[in-house]
Structure 1
Amino acid sequence: MVLDALRTATVTSDPMSAEAVSAKDRSMHHAVEDSQRLVASLPPATQQAVAGWNQLISANFAGDQACAKCHEKEYEAHLRSGHSRTLTRIDESTLASKLAETRHYQDPRRDQIFEFSQNEGSLWVRDVANASGVAIPVTWLLGSGTHAQTPIAVDESTQSGVELRWSYFANRDQLGLTPDHERFDDFAAGTIECFGRPMDAADMRACLGCHSTLTPPPSLPLINSLVVANVGCERCHGPRKKHVALAHLGHAEEAKPMLRYETAEAYMDACSTCHRDESSVKPDATPNELVRFQPYGIKRSRCYLESPDKMTCSTCHDPHDTVSHNRAVSIDQCKQCHGNASSSECSHQPTGDCIDCHMPAVEWTSGIAFHDHWIRIPDEIPGETPSVDSAGNLTASDMLHSDGEE
């Protein structure tokens, strides 16, 4: 594979020209062919285990489309959500062709130019100055594209890869530095560091695991064709093929969900698996980093702590749909618990905007803002001292990021 030449400190193999790499890979690096070739090279016992895994998936997982007939409303809502498109094969994206037309990207923090090309749908990236003769085939785009998409390259043969240095940002409709890659400004020429953050198998499983319905277990190699892309129905409801079969016979209730959420804690734990809580957040995380992790904030809120088994993510969000930006509806949801009793009225702004004051939007990076889900009174929020005009409304400065998407 083309990543192999970059595993050591310098490129020691005879470098191929970019043209030679392109010509060779027209026939050798199609995704399915790569996976098939890798499986064929595995020990017989591992090949048998991969076949068994495929049979297990086929026998138990129905796929999102199978849910549509009986759960049309939820299915249509899911198509609107970021979960439905949070992991995209680069050859199935529109970004690949756009980058191939753009051809170049100048890194804003390194003296470095990345070059893009497309062959048989696959997107290739090169750094001719620092990794001569090597082309990296992009494999996946992580992220729904609502805010951003970050590419990774997975080398199945070595079970390693790279999180690429550049990402696509929707708010600017252009490439920019991949978040957190400031710490990788220094790199060794002739190594995989030229292209971004090196990833081992555990890194790749962690990334793909949160952006997919299913990935192969650690006992099997990470093969792209074994990844069930996107967070689909069965990520949260468990395998449902038996349920679908019984539904066609009128006995759907006989196949109970494997995953059940009978308490608020269980529900929050499911969301926290990817959206993170205190169990997976770094102790030194900054406020602008923490704002990305909604369960972390919710679990620290009095709204959650003082309403055991009542408040979950779905109290305010439809778990199947995209995030609503109907502010009136959001405020009404707050009032479901904080009613009209005088003890529940907001002393700061009784008729104001609950979200702006108590869940202010905080910029994470590159103009992307998330609402802080640690619900607090303004005086408790670092750096938040909302000012009010004579009519009792928030001033323009406090309204600046009020419409930031989740």
Structure 2
Amino acid sequence: MMKTQQITRIPLAPVRSHVLNRFQSLVLISLILVLVLTIASFGELSQRSDETFSDPGSVQRPIRAVVFPPSSADGVAPDPRESARPADATPGAGLTGGSGLTYVGRKVCGECHRENFDAHAQHGHASTFFEVADTDLPQIFAGETFDGGPQYGVYSYQRDAEGNLLAKLDVPDPPEPLMLQYALGSGFNAQTFLTLQATPNGETSAIEHRVSCYAGDRLGLTVGHEEKTPASAAERFGSPLQGEVLERCIYCHTTTATVRQGHIANLTPNVDCEKCHGPGGEHVRLARLSPKPAPYSVGMETWDRESELQLCGDCHRLPRSISKLELRDYPDTLVRFQPVGMLRSKCYLKSEQSLRCTTCHSPHVSHHGPDETSRQIKNCIQCHDQTQSSHVICPVSPQTDCIDCHMPAIDQKQGIKFHDHWIRVRD
């Protein structure tokens, strides 16, 4: 009789438990190593950003750097346009953004885009909005006087104990002195002052001061104030602004700003990278994860001449913001709004989508350099080349004087001149 061989069964539960414990330990160790390396990497990046990465800053006015520390988990500051807006609020002019969008600041952009960063620091866009107390303007104005005219009086300027610049009026029963709060403009042509005040109903009004600072630290009447008359004591300091006009004024001189009850919240001054490219938080996150992040050009995958014109024209003006009478008569004051002139130019209309703002102007590079005119003439010759039979050639001066003849600089008072972008054969 055959004996049945019994098979000894080995209990597997302890084995599974042992293997699982070993595996979990390895995973835990790996996660700890990844965490340590990540912290070290961010620490090195932070140190490089804060200590060795220099920002040339504005070349127009010396200002004290203001650093806004990151407050989100990924090291990127939250989008102020989202966090500052009440749930039932209507977005301000241009202040739109999807949920979770974050701003990083031009310094972070410069870590990878150093060439554009350095060039932009010399551009007027990099110095369009200042707190007056953070500039040398109080030193320039302190002790100065300026006659604003018979209906206004004589302004005198002095600094208070905190270093703020105050304007006083030397008239009978004078209004309270008014602080010059913000300075708008790069200083290449001028800087105009703005003072915000809260109204009794919780809204914001502002005074655009009657006196501006022009090139060469010269005090002068603000352009556009020549024929104005004051309707109240406060208006003796300048013209009142409120509502959409005020919001657009601040919007076009800043990257982010929220006008609220007499002050500006979430202020990112000047026209920096993210004003045109949009919030860069997601782009930066992807760039730190991959050596070849997805392209990020002005926040759009498709970009054409019309898109560019709309972007630049948002602040440099488009015909829709100009009255029909002005568009018909085209007074000299319209040359300040370059897209308006360009859109009626044959060079634009017949260029088959090739002529756009950036054909001549880089948003990163200042156009006030010594070789700017010759560079622009080369742009003209690209489409008016004597060697090309299909091109229209200037019969007077085919190689020189293009700008002076067809886009002359038009005086806007106080020594300010703008080139007329209605490119044409002038009478």
TM interval, shorter chain, is: 0.7 to 0.9
Q: What is the SS of the residue equivalent to 1:151? A: strand
Q: Is 1:305 matched with 2:345?
A: no
Q: Which amino acid aligns with 1:195?
A: F
Q: Is 1:274 matched with 2:319?
A: no
Q: What is the SS of the residue equivalent to 2:336? A: coil
Q: Which amino acid aligns with 1:275?
A: H
Q: 2:407 aligns with which of 342, 350, 359?
A: 359
The TM-score with structure 1 as length reference comes to: 0.73
Higher mean C-alpha displacement, 255-264 vs 158-167:
255-264
Q: What is the SS of the residue equivalent to 1:225? A: strand
Q: Is 1:114 matched with 2:149?
A: no
Q: What is the SS of the residue equivalent to 1:215? A: strand
- TM alignment of 1:125-204, pairs within 5 A: 125-129=167-171, 132=174, 134-156=176-198, 158-170=203-215, 172-184=216-228, 186-188=229-231, 191-204=233-246
**Structure 2: how far apart are the matches of 1:109 and 1:305?**
49
Q: 2:398 aligns with which of 327, 341, 350?
A: 350
Residue in 2 aligned with 1:369? 417
Q: Which amino acid aligns with 1:76?
A: D
Q: Is 1:71 matched with 2:100?
A: no
Kindly name which structure, 1 or 2, has the bigger radius of gyration based on alpha carbons: 2
Distance 1:141 1:364, change over 3 A: same
How far 1:272 moved relative to its partner?
A: 0.5
**Structure 1: how far apart are the matches of 2:99 and 2:165?**
29
Q: Return 5+ residue gaps in structure 1 as ranges.
A: 1-44, 380-406
- TM alignment of 1:1-400, pairs within 5 A: 60-102=102-144, 104-108=145-149, 110=151, 112-119=153-160, 120-129=162-171, 132=174, 134-156=176-198, 158-170=203-215, 172-184=216-228, 186-188=229-231, 191-216=233-258, 221=261, 223-250=263-290, 253-254=293-294, 256=296, 259-260=299-300, 262-285=303-326, 287-323=331-367, 324-326=369-371, 327-340=373-386, 341-342=388-389, 343-379=391-427
Q: Could you say which structure has the higher helix fraction? A: 1
What are the superposed Cα offsets for residues 279-305 of structure 1, whole Å, 9 maximum, x if unpaired? 112334453201111111111111111
How far 1:110 moved relative to its partner?
A: 4.3
How far 1:235 moved relative to its partner?
A: 0.3
Residue in 2 aligned with 1:41? none
Q: What is the SS of the residue equivalent to 2:158? A: strand
**Structure 2: how far apart are the matches of 1:247 and 1:59?**
16
What are the superposed Cα offsets for residues 206-261 of structure 1, whole Å, 9 maximum, x if unpaired? 11011011222x8x656323222110000000000221232223256247456336
**Structure 1: how far apart are the matches of 2:123 and 2:420?**
20
* 8 A Cα contact 1:150 1:166, kept in partner: yes
* 8 A Cα contact 2:142 2:158, kept in partner: yes
How far 1:187 moved relative to its partner?
A: 2.1
* 8 A Cα contact 2:257 2:265, kept in partner: no
Q: Which amino acid aligns with 1:262?
A: W
**Structure 2: how far apart are the matches of 1:87 and 1:58?**
26
Q: Which amino acid aligns with 1:197?
A: S
* 8 A Cα contact 2:203 2:261, kept in partner: no
How high is the sequence identity, in percent, across the aligned residues?
Answer: 34
**Structure 1: how far apart are the matches of 2:151 and 2:377?**
45
**Structure 2: how far apart are the matches of 1:213 and 1:372?**
27
* 8 A Cα contact 2:153 2:170, kept in partner: no
Higher mean C-alpha displacement, 244-253 vs 88-97:
244-253
Q: What is the SS of the residue equivalent to 1:273? A: helix
How far 1:278 moved relative to its partner?
A: 0.8
**Structure 2: how far apart are the matches of 1:331 and 1:259?**
31
Pick 1 or 2: higher relative contact order, CA cutoff 8 A, min separation 6: 1
Distance 1:187 1:222, change over 3 A: closer
Higher mean C-alpha displacement, 319-328 vs 304-313:
319-328
How far 1:128 moved relative to its partner?
A: 4.2
* 8 A Cα contact 2:101 2:279, kept in partner: no
